[in-house]
Structure 1
Amino acid sequence: MTTQQSAPRSQAELIVVTHGPDTSLTPSALEHSRDTEARLATLLPAGARLARVFGPIDRLHGRVAGTPHEPVAAEYLRYFSVHGLTEGLAALAAWLREDSAVDGAYLKPPAEPPIAPDGAAARSTADAPPVTPNFEARQGYLDPAPQGVDARWAWTVPGGRGRDVRVIDVEGAWRFTHEDLLVNQGGVIGGDPSSDQGWRDHGTAVAGEISGDANAFGITGLAPDALLRAVSLFGLGSAAAIRTAADALGAGDVILLELHRPGPRFNYAGRPDQAGYIAIEWWPDDLAAIRYAVGRGVVVVEAGGNGAEDLDAALYSTRPADFPSTWRNPFRGGAADSGAIIVGAGAPPAGFHGSDHGPGRSRLAFSNFGSRVDAQAWGREVTSTGYGDLQGGSEEDLWYTDVFSGTSSASPIVAGTVASYQGISTAAGHRRTPAEVRARLRATGSPQTDAPGRPASQRIGNLPDLRAMAAPH
């Protein structure tokens, strides 16, 4: 057996948020933004450059036309990222904050894939057999409620395999040449995928959960007829990656955010135990990008993070001094609500795969929780593509895992469930809005249970139940 390492962190990101009008994209708003951009460019050191988080200024009007955000779309002109520097970012952020045009300039700590802190797999060195066995029986999350999400039932219903639904996974890297990811995969459409094995295994496992091919071997995805594509945060930054994904999708399609990062609990420090890590929407540019996607009608499913944090804590309502003055804590919902579906990690049924992680559907100790967490799914014992602990050997395209974990493994189950539900809804003639999907997840499903020291009052939500979601209401 070969021990596999978790994926490395991405680079820190320097984000600049300028002052600007809260209006539609009027000629004066555009002129003001161009002037501000030129001003900021003069403040940057050699080798640094500004990039607009929401893309070319002349394309923005067409992207927001007809959306709820059109009347205030000038907001999206305010967000910039700084590229080309790896050192001196904190000092540059402080320098930029002194300029009258700047409302906030902050460093986002590196993002990581939200696999469980002890979730690194051990890859088997034994050669794979000539034909991969069928592992579908090991995918208990496909089973009927209350154990699973009842995907097997959904597959018998028109659209239940995710037909006509598109999904984009936002994270670091993937292996789209895997033998079980060949049919409805659209590849990487943005960013520069990492060459790191940990990121690649992670993305491959996520892809398998959602849209692994329906065949006689390996695993089967929750929504195998959905078209899965990917955008890497490398080269773009997380917010620009979300915006890129949103621009490639239509109303009712799905974005999955497979990232978390260190929050303020431990002064944004990266830690092996991931304590204090939180969902990425807490940072202003990521929040704006998610709201942009949801405003276009795209359903955003977001990992809640593995920091063991109460997202209702007062800490998260304290605005950091380097954040823009307009920021409000999205974990409190209300006017600052991102509109995303936040996912927590729950335990699989006790004894599954011979392991016991506590009562089924109870909060796993590492999972974040709080009133804004909408739904849970299995955060342990998830069978999928990648890693190679279940089937390994020298050929990466034949690797499978039995122990994918974290809000990493839980979030694709919810995203795949949403894709299946949207497929059913589309076949019935009514594709659901992001708000409708989120409300349905909260109103149905198998309830969270108590565990010693982790009561159900530490909310991670219900485990989805596709049969209940799709029932007439």
Structure 2
Amino acid sequence: MPASSAAPGELIVVTTPTGPQITPLALRANRSARTRVDELLPAGARLVPIFGPDNRLAARVADTPQAPVAGEYLSYYSVHGELGDLAELAHRLREDDTVAAAYVKPAAEPPLAPHAANVVAPRAPAVTPDFRVRQAYLDAAPHGVDAVWAHARPGGLGTGVRVVDVEGAWRFTHEDLRQNQGGVIGGTTSADLGWRNHGTAVAGEISGDLNAFGITGIAPEAHIRAISIFGIGSAAAIRAAADAVDPGDILLIELHRPGPRFDYRATPDQRGYIAVEWWPDDFAAIRYAVGRGVIVVEAGGNGGENLDDAVYDSRPGDFPASWHNPFRAGPADSGAILVGAGAPPPGLHGRDHGPARSRLDFSNHGTRLDAQGWGREVTTTGYGDLQGGPDEDLWYTDEFSGTSSASPIVVGAIAAYQGVRATGSARATPDEIRTLLRTTGSPQTEAPGRPSTQRIGALPDLRAMITKG
């Protein structure tokens, strides 16, 4: 099956900061800067504020913990329309005093494992069988997340929890995605089959319907919706997703893009690809979401990179002077839960990818990684290699992979946990969830050439999470 087409590259402009808070003076200064940048753009191009109209932004952050620092959000814009050479336009914009930064983001891609290929099975049976036995990630720790145990607890099906998936396309008409989904609520859905299969597979892992056929989601009563990056860009999609949910709900970022290791070049092997939070506008959008109490889960990327490497400390010349390396974990990081890809149990589906929970060779690793999920052999909706035929609504796969397949496992576990928490004490905060994932779970293991010091974190264990609180 062909790989997904990449999303378009994006031109981002950051205007000169107007101060930490959104004040009347800051709004006037920001509008003046925007007018100046508009004058510099070619005919047919337009400046779009990533965080929405400034008056609405001010209302959204009023009386929240973000209010003292929300002024920075006023400065972020994406440029849309007929732009010509993006790099040349960015260079011209940086020469103006009102522009603090202007940079071109490489095209985002779904973090499916490198060279993954699925062959659609020729036909589907009259009735879809029950594939639950193939979903060992639902089983008890240490191989699975113990979703089966959680499902027997009040709220443990993810009841009342909302999830928004940020990527490119989905097939919400699938026979196993009918019960708890709200469709696409933003962006323009890509017509590409690769993106559509990818989003469908992600949704199935998290919230596949609870029925007698096909697959079962880790949190089948969680309500899942989606926002596409096409037409609006990744940071605007993240911001829109944050505005669509409540504190304690979950936002999933199913993207990665080529990083600085190989000069941002897109390659089939995905070497050097990294998590999107490295780019300033995506980082700001994630911080905005976390500041609103939303649990952000982010694919760690498939570049085989050590995110602790010094290469990520070097600020690109077109980034704002205030930029710092977000992969340096600590109080100044994004607050997102960064997910790596671990091996499933050996022998699953007749294949062996190394010791269970060892780092898969393509997975990024480092101090910043919080948790892992299976990066191979994930049975879910879409692709059609397990069950195919001419109707995509009946397609299932045994081979979903990458930090693509790993991240929804973590999301599903969080959704089930939050459902249980809501029946007792209040839902957990982003920081509480990240701490819980780092202090519980089935530990990462060693593999030849892939020591556990190459951190991807533990596989979530719902029984341990719920027991701990």
TM-score under structure 1 length normalisation: 0.98
Amino acid paired to 1:73: A
Instruction: Please name the residue that 1:226 is paired with.
Output: 222
1:159 pairs, out of 148, 151, 155, with 155
2:164 pairs, out of 165, 168, 171, with 168
SS of the aligned residue for 1:302 comes to strand
Residues of 2 paired with 1:387 and 1:44: CA distance?
42
How far apart are 1:110 and its partner, in Å?
Answer: 0.0
Residues of 2 paired with 1:374 and 1:193: CA distance?
30
Residues of 2 paired with 1:23 and 1:317: CA distance?
24
Instruction: Please name the residue that 1:441 is paired with.
Output: 437
Q: How does 1:23-422 map to 2 (within 5 A)?
A: 23-85=20-82, 87-125=84-122, 127-422=123-418
SS of the aligned residue for 2:165 comes to strand
Please tell me whether residue 450 in structure 1 is matched to residue 410 in structure 2: no
Deviation per residue, 1:313-349 (Å, 9 max, x gap) = 0000100000001111110023430000000000001
Distance verdict in 2 for CA 1:146–1:231, change over 3 Å: same
Asked if the contact 1:384/1:400 (under 8 Å) is kept, the reply is yes
Amino acid paired to 2:262: F
Alpha-carbon RMSD? 0.8
SS of the aligned residue for 1:427 comes to coil
Deviation per residue, 1:188-210 (Å, 9 max, x gap) = 00000100000000000000000
Unmatched tracts of structure 2, length 5 or more: none
Residues of 1 paired with 2:250 and 2:416: CA distance?
11
TM-score under structure 2 length normalisation: 0.99
Residues of 2 paired with 1:357 and 1:407: CA distance?
15
SS of the aligned residue for 1:111 comes to coil
Residues of 2 paired with 1:335 and 1:397: CA distance?
44
SS of the aligned residue for 1:332 comes to coil
Asked if the contact 2:42/2:83 (under 8 Å) is kept, the reply is no
Residues of 2 paired with 1:326 and 1:193: CA distance?
34
Residues of 1 paired with 2:381 and 2:330: CA distance?
38
Unmatched tracts of structure 1, length 5 or more: none
Amino acid paired to 2:354: G
Please tell me whether residue 15 in structure 1 is matched to residue 12 in structure 2: yes
Amino acid paired to 1:130: A
Asked if the contact 2:341/2:374 (under 8 Å) is kept, the reply is yes
Amino-acid identity (%): 66
SS of the aligned residue for 2:183 comes to strand
SS of the aligned residue for 1:107 comes to strand
How far apart are 1:472 and its partner, in Å?
Answer: 3.6
Amino acid paired to 2:161: V
Deviation per residue, 1:238-288 (Å, 9 max, x gap) = 000000000001100000000000000000000000000000000000000
Deviation per residue, 1:287-324 (Å, 9 max, x gap) = 00000000000000000000000000000010000000
Runs of 4+ in 1 over 6 A off after TM superposition: none
Equivalenced residues, count: 469
SS of the aligned residue for 2:216 comes to coil
How far apart are 1:120 and its partner, in Å?
Answer: 2.1
SS of the aligned residue for 2:327 comes to helix
Residues of 2 paired with 1:14 and 1:370: CA distance?
29
Amino acid paired to 2:288: Y
Residues of 2 paired with 1:322 and 1:68: CA distance?
30
Amino acid paired to 1:204: T
Please tell me whether residue 466 in structure 1 is matched to residue 459 in structure 2: no
Amino acid paired to 1:98: E
Asked if the contact 1:329/1:336 (under 8 Å) is kept, the reply is no
